[in-house]
Structure 1
Amino acid sequence: MMNFEQSERSLAWMERVRAFMDAHIIPAIPTYHAQAAAIDRWTEIPPVFEELKARAKAEGLWNFFMPPSDHDDEYFTSPGLTNLEYAPIAELMGRVSFASEVFNCMAPDTGNFEVLHRYGTPAQKERFMLPLRDGVTRSAFLMTEPAVASSDARNIQTAIRRDGDHYVINGRKWWSSGAGHPKCDFFVLMGKTDPDAAAYHQQSMILVPRDMPGVTLVRHLPVFGYDHAPHGHFEVLLEDVRVPAENMLLGEGRGFEIAQGRLGPGRIHHTMRNIATMEVALEKMCRRLLTRRTFGKTIAEHSVWEERIARARCEIEMARLLCLKAAHMMDTVGNKAARAEIAMIKIAAPKMAQQIVDDAIQAHGGAGVTDDFGLAELWANTRIVRLTDGPDEVHERQLARMELDKYRAELAA
């Protein structure tokens, strides 16, 4: 039986987060943008942001994303929320673009932290995970490559070759989110250690310190013109980068195994924030439609907008319920058994959000495509989620195959 009623523990933490956002984050938004406009955003961070982060940490509003764990307490202690309990809190954070980072719950650090928590050695955790836990550093995940169709990760060509006590890395990555952040300390990199192994055992993951010789940030990649500084998305060149052998994660040939453990939670965190995007867009749409008049009545009274508003509310509720179901299954039967539900929400939520934001832009007319109402950036940020952590087509293929498998045996018989 699935019960999606929010637990008392989740409600208590959510109210603390809501109070913090109302008292500190939302009033600081104008200051944040003003300070960001006055500095070099690739090398500096708005002072008010660092103040918010320090305040949140001091109040214990920190690292909500990790579910309960029965090990590694000496390395990490979280509030111990389940995925189901975290979902509404993540949605609340998603209402402000930078709020997740204030609470140290931002991608790709959450996924990289989970990799280290699950698969890292004690030495790796001391060196890389603890500073990430404390918000001292940031990180990046280097998987996608410009020269191949990276939606099939078997195509990845970056070479990781053993040389004595080191691995030597050569390759080119892109869409490496956070690689240029002034606090970025290391990369989790996926590359090929054995081209002759079985297809899903050729790839490995290794920890690469950001300041290693041979690492070059080639350029930042804007998203529909938005640079997302200081986080950003980067093309990274790796030329004869020598990394200590002890930086290999879990062992050679286990990159796909790690990737599956990493991407499950991250995919659902994105969708939690997508639901917040939908709510924000619908709020902006309704307020605009009620305050503008055309042809003798408010725009809200025209039937086409009544239809769009109704559809938006239905889709928000459907997406939220599917997200909660996926979270519930991750908590009760594990990420692997929940892969169909994770795929479903990863397919559905970004598409729904994109349409609702597009409708909100339409409701604002020309103002919707300016930066005045934040909808253009909201659309850009929503559209990219249909590509992050695997494009729609990959999840649709996986989901369709699982559905067809239900009938293959029956037809064969």
Structure 2
Amino acid sequence: MNFEYSDKVKDLEARLNAFMEAHVYPNEEAITAEIDKNGTEKGDRWQPSQIIEDLKKKAKAEGLWNLFLPESERGGGLTNLEYAPLCEIMGRVEYAPEIFNCSAPDTGNMEVLERYGTEEHKKQWLKPLLEGEIRSAFAMTEPRVASSDATNIECRIERKGDEYVINGLKWWTSGIGDPRCKILILMGKSDPDNPDRYRQQSMILVPRDTAGITVKRMLPVFGYDDAPHGHGEVEFNDVRVPASNMLLGEGRGFEIAQGRLGPGRIHHCMRLIGQAERALEKMCRRTSSRTAFGKPVSEQTVTQERIAESRIMIDQARLLVLHAAWKMDTVGNKEARKEIAMIKVAAPVMACKVIDWALQAHGGGGVTTDFGTARAYAHARTLRLADGPDEVHRNQIARLELRRYN
């Protein structure tokens, strides 16, 4: 294992850091203010940020675009290990990944279309996604069942002639609130009587403007609406799509899910490393500038202990993420499933702790919107549930570990 970054990656790191310094960090507050202004003046927070749209043009012009994309005929070429430090840099700011066309759920959906879509699917949906012309959503989780066991999914996909008819209720459908969302990838049950419970599900492409799709509500995350992206509870009532929209074939939903969620999970963890680094930086700056009981807060032993522990935990998590990325690159996602599960537990737990300490260091200001610590904590805490809860990943790790001794 050699985690030394190549000259190509070092060059991209330098260019990406320079772009962040010049364009992203200075616009953080302005982007939030713009979204809030849309809500008060236009009565619609669910509008794209013009600042982000302008920065996208700059990023594309500088070749900092679709960095997530693995080697394909459409470009790309970075391995998971090469992409890791770049994803970490983008993760330092909530809005940044979109600026470089590297945000969820679009990255995962683009990988699904690249790997499992037909040429027509790629022409109709992948191309505009890669160009940043449209956005997408992923509909998997359901409110009426414990979705931590995805075999529980109830949403029905039934073949009727040359069409599939979809009926069901989904939630945490991220991206559905964005007016640029034009396509959903939905996982549902196409063969509920199949004796193999992992062959009952399928994934299918559902255009956003198809009749029968109703967004019942947008779900807040610890009070944040995450506009203009958002997470919706969505009802599918006799939604009809062409049979050609089926991905890979009936009963292959779990197969696609494993191909999609592996990279998606590691991307979340990479971004969380960046979030934690940013939190540690804020903690150090804040405690160095505040005095309590006759000396800077940074000189209080408890503060120094938390700063030290944060550095240890971040570096441990980063090395674990790099190891998982290396395994994915060398032996594939399936063989690296234990390492992927390990980081999916370790990174959010680490980020929650580090961000919580940073929040505490800011005193009462930490729980406001003034410093970004509360929002960062809400995001990190949510990722202990998204893409599978900690408990499910721990169970998988334990089973794989026990298998070595049976």
Q: Per the shorter chain, which TM-score range?
A: over 0.9
Give the secondary-structure state (helix, strand or coil) at the position aligned to 1:407: coil
1:237 partner amino acid: E
2:223 partner amino acid: G
- Distance, in Å, in 1 between the alignment partners of 2:54 and 2:398 is 47
Match of residue 168 from structure 1: 165
Q: 1:141 aligns with which of 135, 138, 146?
A: 138
Give the secondary-structure state (helix, strand or coil) at the position aligned to 1:288: helix
2:78 partner amino acid: L
Partners of 1:42 and 1:181 within 8 A in 2:
no
Q: Which 5+ residue runs of structure 2 have no aligned equivalent? A: none
Match of residue 9 from structure 2: 10
Deviations 1:167-199 (A, max 9, x none): 000000000000111100011000000111020
Give the secondary-structure state (helix, strand or coil) at the position aligned to 2:319: helix
Q: 2:342 aligns with which of 337, 341, 344?
A: 344
Match of residue 34 from structure 1: 33
Identity %: 61
Is 1:53 equivalent to 2:56 in the alignment?
yes
Please say which of residues 3-12 and 31-40 is displaced more in the overlay: 31-40
State the 4+ residue runs in structure 1 displaced beyond 6 angstroms: none
Q: 1:98 aligns with which of 92, 95, 98?
A: 95
Shift of 1:29: 2.3
Partners of 1:112 and 1:141 within 8 A in 2:
yes
- Distance, in Å, in 2 between the alignment partners of 1:279 and 1:168 is 46
- Aligned residue pairs: how many? 401
Deviations 1:49-94 (A, max 9, x none): 110011211222110102223xxx1xx212x111111100000011
Match of residue 233 from structure 1: 231
Partners of 1:42 and 1:180 within 8 A in 2:
no
- Distance, in Å, in 1 between the alignment partners of 2:131 and 2:246 is 23
- Distance, in Å, in 1 between the alignment partners of 2:84 and 2:91 is 11
Partners of 2:46 and 2:229 within 8 A in 1:
no
Partners of 1:42 and 1:182 within 8 A in 2:
no
Q: 2:308 aligns with which of 304, 307, 310?
A: 310
Q: Which 5+ residue runs of structure 1 have no aligned equivalent? A: 409-413
Match of residue 321 from structure 1: 319
CA RMSD of aligned residues (A): 1.0
Match of residue 411 from structure 1: none
Partners of 1:368 and 1:376 within 8 A in 2:
yes
TM-score, with structure 1 as normaliser? 0.95
Shift of 1:327: 0.7
Please say which of residues 25-34 and 356-365 is displaced more in the overlay: 25-34
- Distance, in Å, in 1 between the alignment partners of 2:287 and 2:381 is 24
Q: Aligned ranges for residues 1-400 of structure 1 at < 5 Å? A: 2-40=1-39, 41-69=44-72, 73=73, 76-78=74-76, 80-197=77-194, 198-400=196-398
Deviations 1:340-380 (A, max 9, x none): 11111110010010011111111111111111111000100
Partners of 1:271 and 1:346 within 8 A in 2:
yes
